[in-house]
Structure 1
Amino acid sequence: MTDATNRFPLGEPSSGAASAGPPLAAVSAPPRVSASKMVADALREAIVNGTLAPGAPLRQDAVARHFAVSAIPVREALRQLESEGWAKVEMNKGATVAPLLPDEAREIYEIRAALESLAIACAIPAHDEATLREAQDLCEAARLEADSALYVSRNEAFHMSLYAPAKRPQLLELIETLHRRGERYLRVKLGLPEHKVVSDREHAALMRAVRRRDVATAQKLVAEHLLSTGELLYKLLSENNVDAPAASKRDGGKRAAKKPPRQST
């Protein structure tokens, strides 16, 4: 078992030991939220904050006992997490927290670059003043957001607002799925604040191109923005052996201090 799992064993109530976040058992679902969504959300948060590290076991019976639910919602939650890239489920081995893989990170952003270039080309002719104003407001909200956890959702909201007028539901669904699969990787990048400044600057340039209805420039900017993020994550994960989004928090930033990553260009 990993240190993260030892620190917060899923099958047992918290014994008062320090943990990286509130006990998962304390997370209660609002009345209209399904048990499987409640379990998935809590496990996802535990993975994000480092309570459950890459490779930590997600034993179905232990998870069910911990949340006082049956096996069915746990299976549904694990399937959901697997589809989003948070968990790895193997036949006869069960589920574990998925590792952070440099090649996977780069590939996710390569695919996003292709799909989002198409989406923005379809969307720009359909934008009006209301949709442009909404996208601009979301761009500014992302720029001003200091909390990396909240920035992830604001970043996604901004990107999706650029593509929504395209009215391509299947294309947008694919892009949203890739956003979810890439969330853990984006959090690695956001652990180094200087990279957020670069992203904010690229968002602003992209927003200006969309306002000008300059399709070619917007496609070029969104592709460069995503491909450079993919390459940066590949370097961060390969060179620094980053194994969890919250690693820099747990070790006080010592790992990053040993070998600062190169700024992507």
Structure 2
Amino acid sequence: MANFFTTKDPLDKIIAQTFPEKKIEKTEHILTGWTNIVIEVTTDDGAYFFRFPRNPFWSKMIVKDAAVCNFVDGKTSFYTPQMALHYDEKKRPYSVHQKIEGYTLGDRIYHLSHTALTGAAYDVAKFIKELSGIDLRDAPEKVKYPLSDFLHELDYEHYDKHIDADHKYIKETEMRNLVHGDLNLGNILLDKNDKVIGVIDFCFAGTGNSNMDVARMVSRPAPEEFEKEFLKYFDNQNEIQRMRKAWKNIDNGYAEHIRANFPEINLNQL
């Protein structure tokens, strides 16, 4: 029996069963969800995001996502989702979290004022440092899953060795700090005043070198001014640039897989 979801599953029915006490007013599929089928659900009690894993690998990782989100909650200066993990009648995991109103940094970055742009660079750097400083002694074992192991499994078991993620170097430079693992412009939230207020999507999260998060932030296109301002908060630029190349390879391999297997997904610019 499959432990993941497809768009042919009765997802609206599952959503209704998850929220028996709420009036569902609207559902909207978010067509950029690579790892999960993402549905925004508007109810009489606010808006929520449902995430249904697309394959067995992401079914396993969504359980980790929930564990990390709930462990991190309240431990940084920024909003992170309180994640509810559910299982349908076939024992397939899916998650639900409340929507925070605002915009992603990816939506706004080319429209920000100089002050807002430099402020966002500072805040993202602050988040990385706060996250990597969290004490992990009491963390659940799922939270301590090394990022290098995650990337190795993603590459060798899920994408058939074509991501070229520089696994040896990532392992050699690994530390025991908490990292987000997929810290990109689309996972950083701004309020209506263009102030960074939160970070979402901890599916890649685990332990590792915080420079992997730094490199992830600059591995996709962004204004030169933002990148320059952001990178000034970190040392070891040679390490960051090598990790940046690894992330670009991961994205390119990832995109090939998505194009071949999920043509309904709208790929963001990489």
Whether TM exceeds 0.5 here: the answer is no
Point out which structure has higher relative CO (alpha carbons under 8 A, 6+ apart): 1
TM-score, with structure 1 as normaliser: 0.30
Larger radius of gyration: 1
Higher helix share goes to which structure? 1
Higher strand share goes to which structure? 2
